[in-house]
Chains A and B, each alone.
Chain A
Amino acid sequence: MRFAAAALIAVLSFSASAKETVRIAFVGPLTGGNSAIGLGGRNSADLAVRLRNADGKSKHQYELVVLDDECKPDAGVQMATKAGSDRTIVAGVTHYCSVVAMATVDTYHRFALPVIVWGAVLPDITYANDFKEIHRVNGTMINQNETNAKFMSERGFRKVAVIHDTTDYGKGHNKYFSQFFQKAGGQIIATFGVTADQQDFTAELTQIKAQNPEALYFGGLTPIGVRVRAQMDKLGLKAQFDGTSGIVNDDFIKALGPLAEGALAFREGAPAEKLPGGRKFLEDYNKQGYSNPPEAYGPFAYAAAELLMDAIDKVGPDRKKIVKELANVTDRDSIVGKITFDDHGQNTVPAITRYVVQDGKWVTWEESEYAAGKRKLTNGK
């Protein structure tokens, strides 16, 4: 029996192919609470690989190796080691969860595996080290909140209360938003950290209501965002709801119905449907019949996979050469806007898009009736 198995391994590991097969890894959360975004990212990276293979112009046949980090650092390091120690994998599109991305940078550096982070927003991932292997296509939460704070103060909001979840995501958002908003002359009248699975926010919202803020800044993901917004209404707290990239998805609107109207949110990257490449991305994505939508960060995973395959097409499947080639990425067109890596591998021109919910849809601010003056934000001037 065992010899048969050994023979089987030998047969199966031999695959005949005219073109050289090049493997790149995708690592993201495929199971657990963040799996929707992970699956969207995986499908998008998969789409990039399929289109490139179907296109036929590339010298290489690409294969995507999909690994699940479960949004846990230990599983993440395990998967990073798997990708890094497998010499047939030459590059990676890696991680949505900041905590995992932070845990794995050392591993990628050790194995000299060039990676592009497709979703994690913690600034330290690229800026707390000098590793040439680590890159990121999406912006950090710094950019997002700078735009947000500027936007709010320009619209005349002065007194803002903050609710954020106590994960790195929520805490980081709170930190940068408060910093930029106060610099712009605004005032944070109350700040509440809540756990990501809290159900009832009556206590926090009652205290906030007593202080009568003009807007409520929410740093967190959709599930508690929905609860906070719904309970604001129940308590009669009339304040502008100002969210982060974590709530820009259809679930937020579906769960809230008409209550979602007028909610603000900010996200890195130009909206895919506004760019020529992006429209094509959405069409192609739908054609493949994936069972999940690409979600907010799918286009970034797609763009990251594209960047890697461009580099491999140019310099060949060699980790060191790919790292060198990625350093030259400047002003590159992609479906999320222009991409330029700075000396830390961070994309420096992340366009931030401002969104507002209008008639059950996330609409960019520029195109909304709010900007045209036909509708008004709560307490807006």
Chain B
Amino acid sequence: MRSRAIAALFTALVTAYAWLLLRAESQGAIAALILVGIAAGILAMRTQLLRPVARSLGSNERFAQGLAFAAVVVIALALRDDDFALLLLTRVLIVIVACLGLNVQFGYAGVVNFAGASFFGVGGYTAAVLASSARLPHLLVLLAGGVTAALAGTVLLLPILRTRGHYAALITIAFALLFRTFLEVNDALGGPQGLKLGEMRIGPLRFNDPISAGPFEGSFYLRYIAVALVLVALAFAVVQRLDRSWVGVALDTVRLDEIAAASFGMDIARWKIAAFTVGNFIIGVAGALSAFMIGFIAPNNYSFAESLIFVSILLLGGIGSAWGLSLATAIVILLPEKFQIIQEYRFLMFAALVVLTLLFRPVGLVPRPLRRLVGPPLS
């Protein structure tokens, strides 16, 4: 009981902080909030203050997930008419989904993928083309975005299986560049000027109309948040079930020692293909939803630099850690935005912060915990 109370208290504090940060407008307030955040982080690291919190979250996982879900709902409702803050929140959720997909490849199976944004783009372009031409329900369009991304990934399967380490990384980088050029010269896909998407619809629901039900009035982004939140929950469930099951153990083995895995009779190629395809599917679905929400896609959105941002989110959060990447996504999306006040210098500040974090906490913000299949929680 006490353990749950700690988890709930911690979530409430984080929620309040996130709400303040999303709302903060003035330079002084933002600076103060960011400093408070950094100070709290350092303090927690130094004093082991977070130990009981981590233990309580770890031993009440279902409860903790429920809390996180509720926290997002509360923040979304508290900000219900602030379009911009809601847009940011939706973007954070969508990128979390994409990074969960990347995590299956990178974190579990050890398949490097520096073309995350490209698969995100495949999903987006699929959504744009299908939404304008076919009369497919838009929820299916999201799925189709994932399927197309997974199919596009099959192009890379052979070279990825044949190469290792830096070489495999290079192949995905080459794919990212190729994808961008392909979009730019392809006039059917809008070329460099991009494509416009209509609003998302599910049944009679039109996503871009403002919400008003009785006394409740809210931004149209609330609908996108709802869909994004469901996607996050689904992706989380899939990824964690993968991790907990024998599949996760197998993927870990493949990542840690291919030779050992092969000598135990494991089919390495099969596991790598599975992880790569599942990951791309998840990334593609996220990309499709993102395209609907922004309403406009162009090759500029899916540059190699974006892929690097996805990878840096994984590194910052702690490779393989679903909670870690969620926290890192929030930081990576919100910080540059809040740094708008320092205009052209903001990416400098942002990059410095990332470097410092990696320097002083190379394992990531929330390192991946050891997998425990049986027994009481590790303390």
A8–B27 Cα distance when bound, in Å, is: 11
B residues in contact with A86, CB < 8 Å: 25, 84
Given A39-B344, A81-B84, A168-B193, decide whether A8 and B296 contact each other with a Cβ distance below 8 A: no
From A8, A84, A102, B194 is in contact (CB under 8 Å) with A102
B343 surroundings in chain A (CB, below 8 A)? 30, 42, 66, 68
User: Contacts A78-B88, A166-B184: A99 and B26 contacting too (C-beta < 8 A)?
Assistant: no
A85 within 8 A of B: yes
Q: Is the CB of A166 within 8 A of B28?
A: no
Output the nearest chain A residue to B25 by Cβ-Cβ distance. Answer: A13
Give, as a whole number of angstroms, the nearest-CB distance from A288 to chain B: 16
Q: Is A2 an interface residue (CB 8 A)?
A: yes
Known: A8-B32, A42-B343. A77 touches B296 (CB 8 A): yes
Query: Which residue of B17, B82, B298, B346 has the most chain A CB atoms within 10 A of its CB atom?
Result: B298
On whether the beta carbons of B194 and A103 are closer than 8 Å, the reply is yes
Q: How many A-B contacts if CB must be within 8 Å?
A: 120
Interchain CB contact under 8 A, B344 and A73: no
Q: Is the CB of A85 within 8 A of B83?
A: yes
A43 to B51, CA, bound (A): 50
Q: Secondary structure of the B side of the interface? A: helix
Report B-chain residues with C-beta under 8 Å of the C-beta of A81: 83-84, 87
In this complex, what residue of A is CB-closest to B82? Answer: A85
Closest CB of chain A to B289's CB: distance in Å?
13
**Bound form: Cα–Cα A195–B17 in Å:** 45
Contact A9 B296 (CB under 8 A): no
Residues on A with beta carbons closer than 8 Å to the beta carbon of B84: 78, 81-82, 85-86
Using Cβ atoms and an 8 Å threshold, which residues of chain A touch B294?
Answer: 73-74, 77, 103
Tell me if A1 and B36 are in contact (CB < 8 A). yes
Query: For chain A residues 30-79, which have a beta carbon within 8 Å of chain B?
Result: 30-31, 35, 39, 42, 66-68, 71-74, 77-78
CB distance from B161 to the nearest CB of A (A): 30
Is B193 within 8 A of A99, CB to CB?
yes
* A193 is an interface residue with CB less than 8 A from chain B: yes
Give residues 46-87 of B contacting A (CB, 8 Å): 82-84, 87
A12 at the binding interface (Cβ < 8 Å): yes
Residues of A within 8 A of B191 (CB): 166, 168, 171
A5 at the interface (CB under 8 A from B): yes
Contact: B298 with A73, CB < 8 Å?
yes
| Contact A72:B344 (CB < 8 A) given known A103-B194, A106-B295, A168-B193 | no
Does A2 lie within 8 Å of B16, measured CB to CB?
yes
Interface residues of B in 148-205 (CB under 8 A from A): 181, 184-185, 191-194, 196
Contacting A2 at CB < 8 Å: which of B26, B36, B87, B300? Answer: B36
* Contact residue among B17, B29, B192 (Cβ-Cβ distance under 8 Å from A8): B29
Q: How far is the CA of A86 from the CA of B25 in the complex (A)?
A: 10
Interface assignment of A18: CB less than 8 Å from any CB of chain B: no
Q: Which of B193, B194, B290, B337 has the most CB of A within 10 A?
A: B193
State A1–B44 Cα separation when bound (angstroms): 14
> Which residues from 1 to 45 on chain B have a C-beta closer than 8 Å to any C-beta of chain A?
13, 16-17, 20, 23-29, 32-33, 36, 39-40
- Chain A residues with CB under 8 Å of B83's CB are 81, 84-85, 111
Chain A residues closer than 8 Å to B344, beta-carbon distance: 30-31, 35, 39, 68
Contact status A8-B28, CB under 8 Å: yes
B334 to chain A, nearest CB (A): 12
Chain A residues with CB under 8 Å of B20's CB are: 2, 5-6, 9
Which one, A66, A82, A102, contacts B193 given CB within 8 A? A102
Judge whether A98 is part of the interface by a CB distance below 8 angstroms. Answer: yes
Is there an interface contact between A72 and B301, defined as CB atoms closer than 8 Å? yes
Is there a chain A Cβ closer than 8 Å to B223's Cβ? no
Known A5-B29, A166-B185; contact A78-B87, beta-carbon cutoff 8 A: yes
Q: Is A122 positioned at the interface, with any CB of B under 8 Å from its CB? A: yes
Q: Which residues of the other chain, A, contact B17 by a CB distance below 8 angstroms?
A: 2
List 16 A-B pairs, Cβ < 8 Å.
A1-B36, A5-B33, A8-B32, A12-B28, A42-B343, A68-B343, A68-B346, A72-B301, A74-B294, A81-B83, A99-B298, A103-B295, A106-B295, A166-B191, A193-B185, A195-B184
Besides A31-B344, A78-B88, A99-B192, 4 more A-B contacts (Cβ < 8 Å) are A2-B13, A5-B33, A8-B32, A102-B196
The 3 A-B pairs of least Cβ separation, nearest first, read A103-B296, A85-B83, A9-B29
